[in-house]
Chain A
């Protein structure tokens, strides 16, 4: 970007770039790819994994489309890896990326603002500032929002204050980490793990494991309790196997306790003043640190814009990820009603399907058949990791899932190498999205 362009105000940029639908040439370092005023304008809402992957892969596929990314935050912090902040093996700084590479390498016009509404008829996106950005295609990847009142008394204000859910990595993660570090010797940590679909199915159990690893060194008499709103969870056999070995799981002296929904594990009410969670069976559990992970739903933006059509999640056309509300709008990521885990890798691969849909539309041809893979690695400790491999084969109006989960093992090599693979995956994935 030349200095004169970087001096433009955001308002000027919108005028020149989006709202007026007048394309500049040579904007944002793309002097070699002269955009004509007829170049399609693709606007992406949400600069997380799904949105960033859409912008990057769209530019990889197409040199001439104009790409605008609307994101309220100047930086994005990855959730994958953020559980390891709790045992000091990862830093938030290492997980945080700005949008400079998006701008410079991929020629993306990044607008730091909130999207507030879609005018489907005019094909305009309204921003928090009141400006309207015209689009030819709109991609919405605004992630999940939280159903705070699933636990009565819990709220967004609590989450932003002294009771962080830390389910979007960033300041809340740091706050929860600080609370855990300051926990008195022999203190109690309680987590409420949600039911329904939530992002990264094994993550609550990974988080507890990372906290237990840290506390084993700094606060070995502390106690961790998971109050669960469900009866089964991903990698359960692995977690229980390892917790039994290391934390006496299943004994009188267990460090980590897991209470299934059927055993009264569902947390239904928070007494914030007394730092107490109350379960469905009426048990009161007082804790030094409380981490409520609320159930999820589609983002407020997706719901407000009518994309969810009154449902909890957003439906889409299987082949293209086009919204059922409007064929010029695409929907991906944790907010969609897909038979897929809500993971970053899924969002990134859905983005590639959307890119193919958009490019096919621009070229006036039928889009290729989608294929979506999800290969996740979770850890219990530095010395125990496990993998899950899902593939989603397109079959007309649905996707067919094939899944394999790695076996529980006592082979120390396999355990160590899988754990290292998790770090390996995280590093590679961060580059895949933001480099």
Chain B
């Protein structure tokens, strides 16, 4: 670990508090700090980053029936433009301005590639047997794959 003490001080305010009782109003790593971390470790893949969005946007971003927009099959450039606008904070959002600010350009682009590669179709409910995500026998396809 060669991360500077300075970085640890700023970022670990929340870490060192009781886990689960993180109350820091805002903990933000500077761009330089993020770059320093990213220089030491490979960037998380588009799939790793993108799958962490699933609780809100559905498995593989394929929730089409809710208020939160689907990401599966989204146009790559459109995803990038929107995320950068959210990150910039110049577009009123419900929560995305508080989410997008942590991602680098390269991370946004990796997520954009991942979501653009997925079928723009609703994640199948249990009673659905015909779906881009399913084999003919109703078992799941390995869409999205490993990292």
Please list the residues of chain A having a beta carbon within 8 angstroms of any beta carbon in chain B.
29-33, 56-57, 59-63, 100-101, 104-107, 195-199, 201, 230, 232-234, 313, 337-342, 344-345, 348-349, 352-353, 355-356, 359-360, 363, 367-373, 375, 377, 387, 389-391, 393-406, 414, 417-418, 420-421, 424-425, 427-429, 431-432, 435
Contacts and interface: CB of A to CB of B under 8 A. Distances in A.
A414 B146 CA distance: 38
A344 B20 CA distance: 12
B123 A389 contact: no
A406 B25 CA distance: 9
Nearest to B49: A371
Contacts of B88: none
| 9 A-B pairs closest in CB distance | A197-B20, A371-B44, A404-B98, A368-B147, A373-B52, A339-B15, A400-B11, A389-B98, A401-B14
Contact of B59 (A359, A399, A421, A435): A435
Main secondary structure of the interface of A (DSSP, over half): mixed
- Residue among B3, B101, B134, B140 having the largest count of chain A Cβ atoms under 10 Å: B140
Given A105-B134, A197-B19, A432-B55, A60 B140 contact: yes
A375 B57 contact: no
Contacts of B106: none
> What secondary structure prevails in chain B residues at the interface with A?
loop
Contacts of B44: 368-371, 394
Contacts of A402: 11, 27-29, 102
B77 interface: no
Nearest to A404: B98
A400 B58 CA distance: 25
B101 to A, nearest CB: 7
B20 A341 contact: yes
Contacts of A404: 26, 28, 98, 101
Contacts of B95: 375, 377, 387, 389, 406, 418, 421
A398 B16 CA distance: 11
A60 B52 contact: no
Contacts of A197: 18-21
A375 B23 contact: no
A390 B95 CA distance: 11
A314 B86 CA distance: 37
